[in-house]
Amino acid sequence: MMNQSSNDQVLTDKPRVVFFGTPSFAVPTLEVLAQSPLVDLRGVVTQPDRPAGRGRRLKPPPVKSAADALVIPVWQISTLKDPRVRTWLVEQRCDLFIVAAFGLIFGRRTLVLPTIGAINVHASLLPKYRGASPVASAIYSGEHVTGVTLMQMDEGLDTGPMLASRSLDISQSATTNTITEELASLGAELFRESLPGILRQSIHPCPQEGPASLTRPLVKEDGSIDWRRRPQQIVDHIRAMVPWPRASSDLHSGVRLTILEARAEADWNDDAGSVGRIVVERGKPFVTCGSGRMEILSAQLPGARPVSGEQLLQRRALTDGETLAPLGATGSLPPLVVDV
Tell whether 177 and 196 lie within a shared domain: yes
The full 3-state SS of 15-29, as one line of letters, equals CEEEEEECCHHHHHH
Lowest mean pLDDT among 46-60, 260-274, 320-334: 320-334
Share of the chain above pLDDT 70, in %: 94
> 247 lies in which domain range?
220-328
Which has more pLDDT, 330 or 80? 80
Confidence of residue 326 (pLDDT cuts 50, 70, 90): low
Tell whether 256 and 199 lie within a shared domain: no
Tell whether 52 and 189 lie within a shared domain: yes
CB-based contacts of 104-110 (< 8 A; 24+ apart in sequence): 104/20, 104/47, 104/77, 104/78, 104/79, 104/80, 105/80, 105/157, 106/80, 106/153, 106/155, 107/80, 107/155, 108/155, 110/80, 110/86
Residue 52 has what pLDDT?
83
In a domain, 10, yes or no: no
In a domain, 244, yes or no: yes
Q: What is the mean pLDDT of the chain?
A: 93
- Is 272's pLDDT higher than 90? no
In a domain, 94, yes or no: yes
In a domain, 148, yes or no: yes
Confidence of residue 271 (pLDDT cuts 50, 70, 90): low
Which residue among 170, 197, 215 closes a domain? 215
Confidence of residue 126 (pLDDT cuts 50, 70, 90): very high
Tell whether 211 and 105 lie within a shared domain: yes
Tell whether 45 and 109 lie within a shared domain: yes
In a domain, 7, yes or no: no
Residue 43 has what pLDDT?
97
In a domain, 6, yes or no: no
In a domain, 181, yes or no: yes
Domain CATH number, residue 282: 3.10.25.10
Which residue among 215, 233, 249 closes a domain? 215
Residues 198-256: tens digit of each pLDDT: 999 999 999 999 999 999 999 999 999 999 999 999 999 999 999 999 999 999 888 99
> Do 107 and 155 meet the contact criterion of CB atoms below 8 Å apart?
yes
Residue 239 has what pLDDT?
98
330 CB-contact burial (10 Å; exposed 0-12 / middle 13-18 / buried 19+): middle
Residue 252 has what pLDDT?
85
Tell whether 30 and 160 lie within a shared domain: yes
Instruction: Please tell me the total count of domains within the chain.
Output: 2
Tell whether 281 and 159 lie within a shared domain: no
Tell whether 179 and 237 lie within a shared domain: no
Tell whether 198 and 301 lie within a shared domain: no
Which residues are within 8 A (CB) of 246 and not within 5 positions of it... i.e. 6 or more apart?
223, 258, 260
Residues 138-173: tens digit of each pLDDT: 999 999 999 999 999 999 999 999 999 999 999 999
Tell whether 66 and 204 lie within a shared domain: yes
Lowest mean pLDDT among 8-17, 234-243, 271-280: 8-17
322 CB-contact burial (10 Å; exposed 0-12 / middle 13-18 / buried 19+): middle
In a domain, 8, yes or no: no
The average pLDDT across 263-270 equals 81
Residue 327 has what pLDDT?
56
Confidence of residue 13 (pLDDT cuts 50, 70, 90): confident
- Is 9's pLDDT higher than 70? no
Residue 55 has what pLDDT?
78
Residue 10 has what pLDDT?
45
The average pLDDT across 314-328 equals 85
Tell whether 100 and 201 lie within a shared domain: yes
Residues 31-54: tens digit of each pLDDT: 999 999 999 999 999 999 999 877
Residue 291 has what pLDDT?
87
Residue 241 has what pLDDT?
98
Domain CATH number, residue 135: 3.40.50.170
Tell whether 184 and 318 lie within a shared domain: no
Which residue among 172, 200, 215 closes a domain? 215
Confidence of residue 270 (pLDDT cuts 50, 70, 90): low
Residue 5 has what pLDDT?
37
